[in-house]
Amino acid sequence: MGKRIHNFNAGPAALPLSVLDEIQEELLDFKGSGMSILEVSHRSKWFDDVMNEAVERTKRLLNLGNGYRVLFVQGGASLQFCMIPMNLSLGGRPVDYINTGTWSTKAIKEAKVQGKDVREIASSEDRNFSYIPKDFQVDGDAAYLHFTSNNTIKGTQWAQFPDSGDIPLICDMSSDIMSHSFDVSPFGLIYAGAQKNIGPSGTAIVIIRKDMLERVPENLPAMLKYTTFAEKDSMFNTPACFVIYTISLVLKWLEETVGGLETMERINREKGAVIYDFIDQSDFYTGTADKDSRSLMNVTFRLPDEMLEKKFVEETLKEGMGGLKGHRSVGGCRASIYNATSIDAVKALVEFMGEFQRKQG
């Protein structure tokens, strides 16, 4: 096997090595079927078990109880941007959004395209999305309040979720789902593209509170209705079988190897502290997000100039570290330290950052 690198990609991103080993081990003969998981029918008992396991582990890890359904919908988080207003808005009532960066902006645009009464009740655009807004009022009349829990491009994350009273929260958790424990009860719907923190690309996980399903209009195309996916247990058409299989293994790793979300959160806080403490004592690296809004998943930082940033990224690759270039829309550098990125990888990066600073500083 070739040498594996420390993977800091933002998505598709690092998967636990033990999960990749398990996939490799089962790839040619899944559970004695004589077929690969890539070949078995989605209508077979083998895949039924995979789907049920992914759903049950999600429910246990997030303490969902019976009030929620776990669905798998293709089209990534981007399709959810339009499905949410299409399915969950209510006639004559506004839909509220908080804008904290690129993905929120896209979600807002998709609701406006449909002619919904969209209100942007808070935004951090005034300072280039470098912080999470705190001062806003949630109108009791809104059909829902939508926000993005972690902003991969800008490196910000909600430390406390917004208090929306009785208004259902809708959240894009693409990049920090399963990274910490939280109370799900205020949420009407949580969605996440799988490819950052829980699996490969190709599906979104959608966790929907059952009362929200009552809002879904009859006159929508079948593939754009949450009720279609709920009534058919995500099997209305062929789901992304291999992706769901991988997700079920990642969730097993989270539950059985890591020991649940409280432990995962502690590890993630430790990883974040290692890199942020180093950046804070450096006069060479500068974090781009306000300290109280910093992401534990995507650490964004700048060097003194763009030439040095280019050199930094090139040299990290030579040292066996990948994915450290910032998003093309903002430049700079970014270390995505999702669940599967180990503390050893973070320590190796910080050690390299110290060396690089000594040579260039």
Query: What does pTM read for this prediction?
Result: 0.98
Q: What is the predicted pLDDT for the residue at 248? A: 98
pLDDT at residue 1 in the model: 60
Contact (CB, 8 A) for 119 and 167: no
What number of CA atoms fall less than 13 Å from residue 68's CA on the CB side? Answer: 24
| Residues 142/167, Cβ–Cβ less than 8 Å | yes
The answer to whether 154 and 288 are in contact (CB under 8 A) is yes
Query: Residue type for 19, please?
Result: V
Residue 253 appears among annotated catalytic residues = no
Of 46, 96, 103, 158, catalytic: 103
Q: Which of 46, 116, 154, 196 is catalytic?
A: 196
Domains of the chain (ranges; CATH) run 17-258 (3.40.640.10), 261-360 (3.90.1150.10)
Assess whether 112 carries a catalytic annotation. no
Length of the chain: 361
Query: What is d(CA 206, CA 226) in angstroms, rounded to the nearest whole number?
Result: 9
Distance of alpha carbon 95 from alpha carbon 112, whole angstroms: 10
User: Residues 232, 49, 78, CA angle at the centre, nearest 5°?
Assistant: 50
What is the per-residue pLDDT for 123? 98
Per-residue model confidence as pLDDT tens for the chain (361 residues): 678 999 999 999 999 999 999 999 999 999 999 999 999 999 999 999 999 999 999 999 999 999 999 999 999 999 999 999 999 999 999 999 999 999 999 999 999 999 999 999 999 999 999 999 999 999 899 999 999 999 999 999 999 999 999 999 999 999 999 999 999 999 999 999 999 999 999 999 999 999 999 999 999 999 999 999 999 999 999 999 999 999 999 999 999 999 999 999 999 999 999 999 999 999 999 999 999 999 999 999 999 999 999 999 999 999 999 999 999 999 999 999 999 999 999 999 999 999 999 999 7
The reply to whether 196 belongs to the active site is: yes
Residue 328 φ then ψ, to 5°: -55, -25
